[in-house]
Structure 1
Amino acid sequence: MKKILKHSFEAVSLLTTDNGMLDVTIVPALNQPDWIIPSSLILSVDDYDEHIWTYLWQQQEVAVFHMLPRDQVPDKIVVIEGNTALHRFALQTTGELRQIKVRISEVKDGQLPEHFVDVAASNIDDNKAKDDNSIYQQNNVSTIDNRTDNKIDVIEEPFRENDVLSYLFQTVIIENTPYLVPDLDKIAHQLVDSDS
């Protein structure tokens, strides 16, 4: 039996299905499509209008991911469940969250709209210039090659808040509107690693 190295979010298994329906929450974002997150992962939605890096939630400090530029005033903190209590994190955003139930058959795979790809691409050079001074560094991740059962090191590219492509898990289309499905596991682990 192989040792499991780390649990990862499996978005499909976390979505609650009830007669072919998905229970999801749409979290507003700026300069990118709104995020779609399984409602069961949202622990709390609190009013908060100050740009912060950590948030005290139920006696626990959680790292904050910003879904809006620094020059925008946030009004919400959304606490997201993690693999462990340590890997909980918060999203800082502005606008109203919407909880919806949607039929699985109504959720289509899609492509990230071109203007969001262009914005992300224009930020790549800025990110490379900041890498030396950044708290987000590349992580070496050990994993098992299933074909040979050998341990290999993989360099995991860090996410950047201003680079949608660095944390995009998938783009989906619901009623002709694109939504971003984020790689919550990657965000949680890198926020915790950079915060500690």
Structure 2
Amino acid sequence: MKQILKHSFEAVSLLTTDNGMLDVTIVPALNQLDWIIPSSLILSVDDYHERIWIYLWQQQEVAVFHMLPRDQVVDKIVVLEGNTPAHRVALQTAGELHQVKVRISDVKDIDLPKYYVDVALSNIDANKIKDDSTNIYQSLSVSTADDTINAVEEHFRENVVQSYLFQTVIIDDTLYLVPDLDKIAHQLVDLDR
């Protein structure tokens, strides 16, 4: 009987039961898909019932991103690690966060559903009316599962998903938004303070 030689190249076994899994947290949002972020980025989840723009976390001011419209009640702050301590951000939301383990192979990229594109476009139009004197818009083609919509892209806005959307994914028939956390952090953090 021939002896079986063990493969010495470690990268072959990177996708094992443990390594092929992602620890993610689902953060509830309103008027957009719930967010899915790596659980390892969460530094703390604190109860907080007042809408704020800057959160004092461990004696550090952290810029806040609002995941709910202004007329909605908030109840928690989720502090996320950034590329530097200065680029930490907090998410203000309401509802329960859910931690899940998912297989990498179960996460599929998908286009942003048309409904959310339409909501974003209406928010862009509302912002254009407010900012009519500035020229902060540029042409953009947005693809959905149904078609491509010609839209405009504006600078980062909390109420315009396309301004911070990294990717839309589907896991177990549920859609989630993967935010561009670096872009959010760099837009919210004022390093001149």
TM-score, normalization by structure 2: 0.78
Tell me, in whole angstroms, the C-alpha distance in 1 between the residues paired with 2:133 and 2:26.
33
| Match in the other structure for 2:118 | 118
Q: Does 1:80 align with 2:77?
A: no
Tell me, in whole angstroms, the C-alpha distance in 2 between the residues paired with 1:36 and 1:125.
27
SS in 2 for 1:193: coil
**Aligned pairs (5 A) from 1:48-67:** 48-67=48-67
| Match in the other structure for 1:94 | 94
- Report the CA distance between 1:124 and its aligned residue: 0.8
| Match in the other structure for 1:158 | 155
- Report the CA distance between 1:194 and its aligned residue: 8.5
Q: Deviations over 1:20-72 (max 9, x none)?
A: 10110000000000000000100000000111111000000111000000100
Tell me, in whole angstroms, the C-alpha distance in 2 between the residues paired with 1:159 and 1:195.
19
Which of residues 186, 189, 192 is equivalent to 2:189? Answer: 192
Change (3 A) 1:103 1:40: same
| Match in the other structure for 1:176 | 173
Tell me, in whole angstroms, the C-alpha distance in 1 between the residues paired with 2:121 and 2:91.
23
Change (3 A) 1:193 1:131: farther
The Cα RMSD (Å) is 2.2
* Percent identity for Structure 1 against Structure 2: 80
- Report the CA distance between 1:114 and its aligned residue: 1.2
Change (3 A) 1:109 1:127: same
Change (3 A) 1:195 1:32: farther
The total of aligned residue pairs comes to 161
Change (3 A) 1:187 1:75: same
Q: Does 1:21 align with 2:18?
A: no
Would you say the 8 A contact 2:124–2:154 is kept in 1? Answer: no
Change (3 A) 1:49 1:133: farther
Change (3 A) 1:195 1:174: farther
Q: Deviations over 1:74-124 (max 9, x none)?
A: 001000111111000100000000000001111111111211110000111
Tell me, in whole angstroms, the C-alpha distance in 1 between the residues paired with 2:192 and 2:18.
38
- Report the CA distance between 1:195 and its aligned residue: 8.2
| Match in the other structure for 2:129 | 129
Q: Does 1:45 align with 2:45?
A: yes
Amino acid in the other structure paired with 1:126: A
Tell me, in whole angstroms, the C-alpha distance in 2 between the residues paired with 1:33 and 1:93.
13
Instruction: Give unmatched runs, 5+ long, in structure 2.
Output: 1-16, 138-152
SS in 1 for 2:184: helix
Would you say the 8 A contact 1:63–1:195 is kept in 2? Answer: no
Structure 1 runs (4+) deviating above 6 angstroms are none
- Report the CA distance between 1:193 and its aligned residue: 3.1
